Amino acid sequence: MLSNKGRLFIISGPSGSGKDTLLVKLFKAVPEIKFSISSITRPMRENEKPGQKYNFISKDEFENMIKNNELLEYNQFLGNYYGTPKAPVIKAIENGDDIVVEVDVNGAAQIRNNVPDCTSVFILPPSLEALKTRLHDRGTESEEKIRERLLCALDEIKRANEYDYVVVNDDIDTALNDLVGIIRLDRLKIDRNLDLINKILEK
């Protein structure tokens, strides 16, 4: 039984949680889920396309969005802005679509203030050892950079308790099933079914 409105799902997870691979699998498995495209002001990289994961806009455009309250959350990092535009998320929810926003713990906290009626999921590595191994296995970064990423990951995990659900990404297919289940079963929550209950009672 489907409720009419869609829902916003916030997904976060530290570097090494395998969140990105999991999200790619999620959108293949459940193509009707919408994905929020971030607006950012840093230059486009060679392997990127506009409108895929990011919309590349100017600083002026971004600052106008801030001024007009058109963002669900935003952040500044190394002189560039990163943010989640409000309009596409609200439109998806009104259309009855579920929409996923991938953000860090700070972005998640900002979004919860703007859209309290959302569901948030934290992707967790199975253990500290697994996290360390995954950060090392990339093989492209210095020890110092890896150490920095690890501390950053631990800071994020400290705030996992702000989320509604935890998905442990040990076996990726299990994690995918868990994530799909969380999104699908959200439609059974009582606050998404009050219309149906009233419909039965009103007749």
Interface residues with its own copies (CB under 8 A) are 1, 122, 124-128, 131, 154, 157-158, 160-161, 163-168, 170, 178, 181-182, 184-185, 188-190, 193-194, 196-197, 199-201, 203
Q: Which C-beta is closer to its own copies: that of 37 or that of 166?
A: 166
Q: What's the CA gap between 75 and 142, in Å, rounded?
A: 26
Contact 35, 142 (CB under 8 A): no
Q: How far is CA 149 from the centre of its chain?
A: 19
Amino acid letter, 91: K
Q: Which C-beta is closer to its own copies: that of 30 or that of 37?
A: 30
Contact 37, 51 (CB under 8 A): yes
Closest CB 119 distance from its own copies, rounded Å = 11
- CA-based nearest residue to 183, from 85, 101, 72, 73: 101
Closest CB 5 distance from its own copies, rounded Å = 15
Which residues share a beta bridge with 119? 9
Which residues share a beta bridge with 9? 100, 119
Closest CB 1 distance from its own copies, rounded Å = 4
72-95 b/e with 16+ CB inside 10 Å = b?
A: bbbbeeeeebbbbbbebbbebbee
Q: Which C-beta is closer to its own copies: that of 172 or that of 197?
A: 197
Q: Which C-beta is closer to its own copies: that of 25 or that of 187?
A: 187
Closest CB 165 distance from its own copies, rounded Å = 5
Closest CB 167 distance from its own copies, rounded Å = 6
Q: Which two tokens stand for residue 197?
A: 């209950």
Closest CB 172 distance from its own copies, rounded Å = 13
Q: Which C-beta is closer to its own copies: that of 152 or that of 182?
A: 182
Q: Which C-beta is closer to its own copies: that of 65 or that of 167?
A: 167
